[in-house]
Amino acid sequence: MAETITRVDYFYIETPNKPGEAARMLNAINEAGHNLLAFSGFPKGRRAQLDFIPADSVAFAKCAKKAGCTLSKKKSGFLVQGDDRIGAVANLLSKLADAKINVTACTAVCAGKNRYGAILWVKSPDLKRAAKVLGIA
């Protein structure tokens, strides 16, 4: 099976960079019954940035607002799922590089059972071109 590449929405929040902040947010999302397609967290100066890629963006944003969370504006990226093989991510990034599209960030993991997943972020002006290059336009 080849990759399945989907354009997804994501939101981020900034929190104190201290133990338990990500767990607190993820538990609140779980309790509200929202499914995440992906999550990423990393330090940002003296704070932390938590990125959420929800299965249902509208419901997620409403829930966050109700909970008093300050979400970023909705942004877009790409969720990649496919059969793991040597060079899988290199091939995707090479396609974008050949089209002169800069990848803002990429996170990729082996998912077990010969599967992998990745999240790709590009700047907003490049979204449509990147989608076309990746074969989802």
Domain's final residue, options 52, 74, 96: 74
* pLDDT tens per residue, range 33-88: 999 999 999 999 999 999 999 999 999 998 888 777 889 999 999 999 999 999 99
Domain's final residue, options 33, 50, 74: 74
- Residue 137: predicted pLDDT: 64
* pLDDT tens per residue, range 107-121: 999 988 999 999 999
Residues 66 and 93 in one domain: no
- Work out how many domains the chain is built from and give that number: 2
Mean pLDDT computed over 96-108: 97
Residues 67 and 102 in one domain: no
Which DSSP string do the residues of 11-71 spell out, in sequence order? EEEEEESSTTHHHHHHHHHHHTTPPEEEEEEEEETTEEEEEEEESSHHHHHHHHHHTT--P
Q: What is the domain range of residue 104?
A: 76-133
Domain CATH number, residue 125: 3.30.70.260
The first and second tokens of residue 106, run together, are 């990429």
Residues 66 and 82 in one domain: no
* pLDDT tens per residue, range 5-29: 999 999 999 999 999 999 988 998 8
